[in-house]
Amino acid sequence: MPRTGPVTKDTTTIALGLAQIRIGSSSSLIGQIQPKLAAAASMGALANTKFSGNAEYFKLFSGYPLLEDASYPLRESAMMEVGFKEITPKNFALARGLDPAGYTQAHYGQIPLGTLSTPAYVRMESVYTYPDGTNTMTIIFPRAQVTATIEMEFAEEEPAAVAVAIEAKRADSEVTGGHVVWDAKPLGVVIWNDGSTLTTTSTTTTTTAA
């Protein structure tokens, strides 16, 4: 008998596993619309990676009884929720909203407490590789801020994982620190690649990530 229901159309499109989260300089890479951060910019081992694209709409109703006529967009936001396992000064600084670029040692550094300020702007590239090992999906937040209520729970047989929210902020040319290349996609972009070279160009030269 014929198969029914939601039969898989392309097994290479199934997402399984975590994305790699890479953090770099927003200001020096703001003109780049392609993925630019290398694997060395990764936050390391993660407990979870979750993308949320939030949208709120106004719904118009009319008549009696009321029936829905239309939906109008009110606001949009994008966020990547991450739980990092590697408790380093760099990752801890990121969770505190500090610029992580100055923290280069895994077991050396200081993070002040009681000094909260506006979170630094960073570039985030979430690189997800499909199980076939070739196809990728990269989410780019060119100008993001990190917020967190830091909790580190130490257990006997499970590694601690610190949850942070990496929130996309406007990166278009009308905001200080933005760039014209993001005018049509002010919060960022999602790019799929089948392993071939991306042909999209940008207006600045490649800069090594912090």
The CA distance from 101 to 67, in Å, is 54
Q: What is the pLDDT of residues 91-106, one digit of tens each?
A: 999 999 999 999 999 9
Contact yes or no for 31/203 (Cβ under 8 A): yes
The CA distance from 142 to 154, in Å, is 33
The answer as to whether 71 is a domain residue is: yes
The answer as to whether 89 is a domain residue is: yes
Closest CA to 103 of 115, 118, 86, 116: 86
The answer as to whether 121 is a domain residue is: yes
Q: Is the peptide bond before 65 cis (omega within 30 degrees of 0)?
A: yes
Closest CA to 141 of 191, 99, 104: 191
What pLDDT does 202 receive? 41
- pLDDT-based confidence at residue 3 (cuts at 50, 70, 90): confident
The answer as to whether 2 is a domain residue is: no
CA dihedral 202, 207, 208, 210 (to 10 degrees): -100
Share of the chain above pLDDT 70, in %: 93
The answer as to whether 20 is a domain residue is: yes
The CA distance from 63 to 136, in Å, is 48
The answer as to whether 1 is a domain residue is: no
The answer as to whether 22 is a domain residue is: yes
**Is residue 207 over pLDDT 70?**
no
What pLDDT does 195 receive? 84
The CA distance from 21 to 86, in Å, is 12
pTM (predicted TM-score): 0.90
Domain span holding position 31: 11-53+61-193
The answer as to whether 126 is a domain residue is: yes
**Is residue 9 over pLDDT 60?**
yes
The CA distance from 166 to 12, in Å, is 28
Contact yes or no for 100/91 (Cβ under 8 A): yes
The number of distinct structural domains making up the chain is: 1
Contact yes or no for 24/210 (Cβ under 8 A): yes
Query: What are the phi and psi torsion angles at 62 (to 5°)?
Result: -155, 165
